[in-house]
Structure 1
Amino acid sequence: VTDSDMSHYFGHDSQPNFEVPTANPLLIIGMLGLAGVMGLRRKEK
């Protein structure tokens, strides 16, 4: 996802296809980060 896409989503946050509050992208990034860390820790063990 590029910055232009982010601004596009924020500019058209009323689209029915994207019923996503502004906090969801951050939550998704956080979840992906946690999943990646947990995956790396599993591989180390």
Structure 2
Amino acid sequence: DKITEPIVISDLHISVFVLENIATTTMEMRFYNDNDRVMEGEFNFPLA
């Protein structure tokens, strides 16, 4: 069996727009799967 490689973030773009005391942040992430099968995972992004 071939060793399963982890999926990696291949591209990350973050933009922030600030208006007075409110900031809107947008993140775009592209993931790369080097395996020969569909992968599924869980992504956690704690804010505090």
Q: If the length of structure 2 is used for normalisation, what is the TM-score?
A: 0.17
State the structure with more CA Rg.
Answer: 2
Q: If the length of structure 1 is used for normalisation, what is the TM-score?
A: 0.17
| Higher helix proportion | 1
| Higher strand proportion | 2
